[in-house]
């Protein structure tokens, strides 16, 4: 496999995508934040002192997707056409899923992963007064579509 992430001196560079044709691209990522059932109950009932945990975490995830290139050094700034952050409450965890879309020359996998990470961190931040030993885990790409490398679906 030929990597294009290095210049002629062997140093990292942002890949030049100017000759690539724009295509419709999507990526969906997911992650989990494990916690006590009482913490999940506080989220569900609106009993967290800092406010509506999932509403704030949803906005944080959307903002993170939009600003990924400011945090991850080699990511291209992208004109995203859609970001959707969703949550599922389990007895002892909150599952986070984010789908990001664009029409562009490069994919949105990192944007989706960044959205999930920021949303999970926001849940932690808002609930840390209730529980400090929550665990953020299993952040992963579920699927991506578009681009030269084709589609990917986690098995």
User: Residues with catalytic annotation?
Assistant: 125
How many CA atoms lie within 13 Å of 152's alpha carbon, on the beta-carbon side? 17
Pairing type for strands 93-104 and 80-90 reads antiparallel
Token pair, residue 68, equals 């990924």
19 phi, psi to nearest 5 deg = -90, -5
Token pair, residue 53, equals 């945990």
H or E segment and range at residue 87: strand 80-90
CA–CA–CA angle 111, 4, 152 (5° rounding): 45
CA dist., res. 53 & res. 43, Å (int):
6
């Amino acid at each position: 496999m030929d990597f294009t992430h290095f210049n002629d001196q062997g140093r990292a560079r942002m890949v030049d995508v100017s000759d690539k044709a724009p295509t419709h691209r999507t990526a969906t990522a997911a992650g989990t934040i494990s916690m006590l059932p009482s913490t999940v109950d506080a989220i569900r009932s609106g009993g967290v002192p800092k406010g509506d945990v999932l509403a704030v975490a949803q906005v944080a995830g959307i903002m993170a997707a939009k600003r990924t290139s400011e945090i991850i050094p080699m990511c291209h700034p992208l004109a995203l056409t859609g970001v959707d952050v969703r949550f599922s409450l389990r007895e002892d965890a909150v599952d986070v899923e984010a789908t990001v879309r664009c029409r562009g020359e490069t994919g949105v996998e990192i944007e989706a992963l960044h959205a999930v990470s920021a949303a999970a961190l926001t849940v932690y931040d808002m609930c840390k007064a209730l529980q400090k030993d929550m665990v953020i885990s299993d952040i992963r790409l579920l699927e991506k579509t578009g681009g030269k490398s084709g589609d990917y679906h986690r098995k």
